[in-house]
Amino acid sequence: MTRPSSGPIPDHKVIAPVWGRAASVDVERGEGSWLIDRSGVRWLDYTSGIGVVNTGHAHPRVAAAIAEQAAKLLHGQQNIVFHEPGLRLHDRLSRILPGGPWGVFLSNSGAEAVEAAVKLARRATRRRNILVFRGGYHGRTAQTMALTTAKNVYRGHFEPLPGSVYSTAYPYCYRAPSGPRDPQKPGAGGSCAGCTCRWEEEWDLTLHTLVDAEDVAAVIIEPILGEGGYIVPPAGFLPRLRELTRQLGILLIADEVQTGFGRTGEMFAVQHSKVEPDILVMAKGIASGLPLSGIIARSELLASWAPGTHGGTYGGNVVACAAALATLDVIEQEQLVANAAARGAQMLAGLRAVAEGRRAIGDVRGIGLMLALEFVKPDEGDGRVPDADAVRRVIAEAASRRLLLLSAGSYGQVIRIIPPLVTTAAEVDQALEIIAASLDAAGMVRS
């Protein structure tokens, strides 16, 4: 019998063109940091499928947990039954953050979890407005497009968008108006004092001009800006934001979709500054590639949601929950959070060395295995004119050497480097060599 999935492999054209393409690998399988294509060629995947496969591709323990669960039950709908993987995962995630008490709600995608966070904040506070930070990315559904300001491609052409969303400035120290500033060298008191990015003045201005603080339900923030350019704020920023939101009765939603599950060298990025959000949004790394997302929220907030006011057919899918439990085991047992910190420090030092003397690289930054190079036209304007073309050329050169990288940034001027957290010291060295060779080949030689 001929199965419909046999015969010649269809042309790439069957995929809708809306899927922009960073590379064009006909992948067959993956292992650890590597993707292997149909011809057996190995690609070093420093995209992690956009920050998803923190445990590496097809980790045997995660794959085994999925197979075992799939043979027993594929769908145990949350409104109808209780299943063991779901109960265990809710319990485990409610204990993953310090503080609390915390409760958990599970859904399928990052955007869906952000929507849940916003709905919960509005319901719990009975306030309407949401504040976002410019450059932030929160998804592509209607509500999350309205929250997203990373790039106009994500929201342009789709007006009208849901309203009552107001934006303020993220501390982007490299692009501070009076010149680049190193966020690792904070001003007085370890805060942003002395920094010219003026995020706090902008926050204050927003609350004096666009919206009244007492009508704001929540502010949603990426602790490290992702799609917006892998921007690491100064150490004092989040604690100060937490202080301000507490004073004003505004909930703090940490969107940890890209930063979560060990990516930055802590289980969640808010833990670097010991800030306790009211709601934390998670997805991507949670289940090693199976569609699962959710929020961790203060229990009393979750209690304000009456049954039926939120939900979904697939939320907390039993196979995805089994994958998430195995993912958490692997992160713990293989000490992947510590590996992210160690390999991240190695990669950051290596990137700084590679960038030395190359004027097209304006900034090298990152934390854990969330790293970036920002490309500029050094001889134009004030020397920080964004250079998306340089990014495209370097990514293409790296791909021709079998290293997969992604871009980021509002102008596409950033290369982001997101290895699986299982990556080894030897792989990091290999990637650094390829990046150096790619910069040379793209004409960005040392001067």
Among 111, 120, 296, 355, contact with ligand PLP (rule: CB under 6 A): 111
Q: Give me 5's structure tokens.
A: 């999935």
Q: Give me 74's structure tokens.
A: 């594929």
CB of 227 to ligand PLP, least distance (A): 6
Closest CA to 282 of 263, 264, 258, 306: 258
Distances 132 to 90, 246, 352 between C-alpha atoms, Å: 28, 16, 31
Asked if residues 414 and 365 have their Cβ atoms less than 8 Å apart, the reply is no
Among 59, 83, 138, 416, contact with ligand PLP (rule: CB under 6 A): 138
Q: Give me 89's structure tokens.
A: 């995962």
Among 257, 301, 351, 376, contact with ligand PLP (rule: CB under 6 A): 257
CB of 407 to ligand PLP, least distance (A): 13
Asked if residues 219 and 132 have their Cβ atoms less than 8 Å apart, the reply is yes
122 or 140: CB nearest ligand PLP: 140
Name the residue whose CB lies closest to ligand PLP: 110
Identify the residue whose tokens are 């319901």: 123
Q: Give me 204's structure tokens.
A: 């204050």
CB of 112 to ligand PLP, least distance (A): 7
CB of 138 to ligand PLP, least distance (A): 5
CB of 291 to ligand PLP, least distance (A): 8
33 or 143: CB nearest ligand PLP: 143
111 or 124: CB nearest ligand PLP: 111
51 or 85: CB nearest ligand PLP: 51
CA–CA separation, 169 vs 388, rounded Å? 22
CB of 108 to ligand PLP, least distance (A): 8
- The set of residues, in sequence order, having a beta carbon less than 8 Å from that of 112 and lying 6+ positions away, is 139, 141, 293, 312
Q: Which contiguous run of DSSP H or E holds residue 440?
A: helix 425-441
Contact between 283 and ligand PLP per CB under 6 A: yes
CB of 12 to ligand PLP, least distance (A): 22
Pick the piece of the chain touching ligand PLP (CB under 6 A) from 1-9, 134-142, 272-280, 418-426. Answer: 134-142
Contact between 139 and ligand PLP per CB under 6 A: yes
In which region does residue 2 sit, left (phi positive, over 0), alpha (psi from -120 to 50) or beta (all else)?
A: beta
Contact between 137 and ligand PLP per CB under 6 A: yes
CA–CA separation, 205 vs 44, rounded Å? 46
Among 48, 109, 245, 407, contact with ligand PLP (rule: CB under 6 A): 109
CB of 284 to ligand PLP, least distance (A): 7
Contact between 258 and ligand PLP per CB under 6 A: yes
83 or 138: CB nearest ligand PLP: 138
Q: Give me 95's structure tokens.
A: 């204990």
Binding mask 18-57 for ligand PLP (x = CB under 6 A): --------------------------------x-------
DSSP code, position 278: S
Among 45, 255, 266, 397, contact with ligand PLP (rule: CB under 6 A): 255
Which alpha helices (H) appear in 140-279, and where do they start and end?
Answer: 142-147, 199-209, 237-248
CB of 259 to ligand PLP, least distance (A): 7
255 or 397: CB nearest ligand PLP: 255
Give the gyration radius of the chain's Cα atoms.
22
CB of 349 to ligand PLP, least distance (A): 26
Note the residue count of the chain. Answer: 447
DSSP code, position 32: B
CB of 294 to ligand PLP, least distance (A): 11
Contact between 115 and ligand PLP per CB under 6 A: no
What single letter denotes the amino acid at residue 260? G
Among 30, 110, 229, 294, contact with ligand PLP (rule: CB under 6 A): 110
Identify the residue whose tokens are 């195995």: 326
Q: How many residues bind ligand PLP (CB under 6 A)?
A: 15
CA–CA separation, 80 vs 74, rounded Å? 14
Q: What is the DSSP string of 226-253?
A: STTT-BPPPTTHHHHHHHHHHHHT-EEE
DSSP code, position 286: G
Contact between 223 and ligand PLP per CB under 6 A: no
- The set of residues, in sequence order, having a beta carbon less than 8 Å from that of 208 and lying 6+ positions away, is none
Contact between 277 and ligand PLP per CB under 6 A: no
Interface contacts to ligand PLP, rule CB under 6 A: 50, 109-111, 114, 137-139, 222, 226-227, 255, 257-258, 283
